[in-house]
Chains A and B, each alone.
Chain A
Amino acid sequence: GAVVSQHPSWVICKSGTSVKIECRSLDFQATTMFWYRQFPKQSLMLMATSNEGSKATYEQGVEKDKFLINHASLTLSTLTVTSAHPEDSSFYICSASRTGAYNSPLHFGNGTRLTVT
């Protein structure tokens, strides 16, 4: 089945620093990838849609200048949390579906647990 790799799986950083999270589709091309965030005991919340070769589309309430998304190739999207603060501590998960398959299920990476101290 489709595999999505996410790195790192966990990261601890100091307040004010930036953290980059990578998401790769390993055996398929993904024109579009999605970034979710999940707080404890809450459901997944879509943060943004990452489009290869163009700007990301952010959900309402998500600061595009704080959560920078780059989708430079058909297999890689990155999320950079800039000037991280403790309230940004969360579980960040990327997902992707096969290019050209509208109803193709989303496959998730293993997630990145970010802790900002």
Chain B
Amino acid sequence: QKEVEQNSGPLSVPEGAIASLNCTYSDRGSQSFFWYRQYSGKSPELIMFIYSNGDKEDGRFTAQLNKASQYVSLLIRDSQPSDSATYLCAVKYSGGGADGLTFGKGTHLIIQP
């Protein structure tokens, strides 16, 4: 069974520090990786996606992918209280077609003012 694992937290980070969120996945053939942010009672919103090994930066966010270790992470620099949310890691598994995503259970991030 294809799985996506995340530490549920809560992960508490002081304002202005770097928040590091981690995710591992089971299928070595996975091709696409996504990070979504979900505020309580709201639907997920896309933060970043990454397909290739290495780092991808977008503003305060950096996604890191290591396919050999089956590991993907999200770094949030200069953390703000508004970053407090649940962060969902999602993986699109190989197999062709427009498959849906498999989500981790999410990491609850708390940015302390």
Contacts and interface: CB of A to CB of B under 8 A. Distances in A.
Given A103-B31, A103-B32, A108 B44 contact: yes
Contact of B104 (A34, A43, A95, A97): A43
Contacts of A49: 98-100
A12 interface: no
Given A43-B104, A43-B105, A103-B31, A109 B43 contact: yes
A27 B42 CA distance: 21
A106 B64 CA distance: 19
Interface stretch (B13-21, B45-53, B54-62, B73-81): B45-53
Contact of A106 (B101, B104, B105, B106): B101
Given A44-B88, A97-B98, A106 B103 contact: no
B67 interface: no
Contacts of B49: 103, 105
A107 interface: yes
Interface of A: 6, 31-32, 34, 36, 42-46, 49, 91, 93, 95, 97, 102-103, 105-111, 113
Interface of B: 31-32, 34, 36, 41-46, 49, 51, 88, 90, 92, 97-106
18 contacts: A6-B43, A32-B98, A34-B100, A44-B88, A44-B103, A49-B98, A91-B43, A97-B98, A103-B51, A105-B34, A106-B46, A106-B101, A108-B36, A109-B43, A110-B42, A110-B43, A111-B43, A113-B41
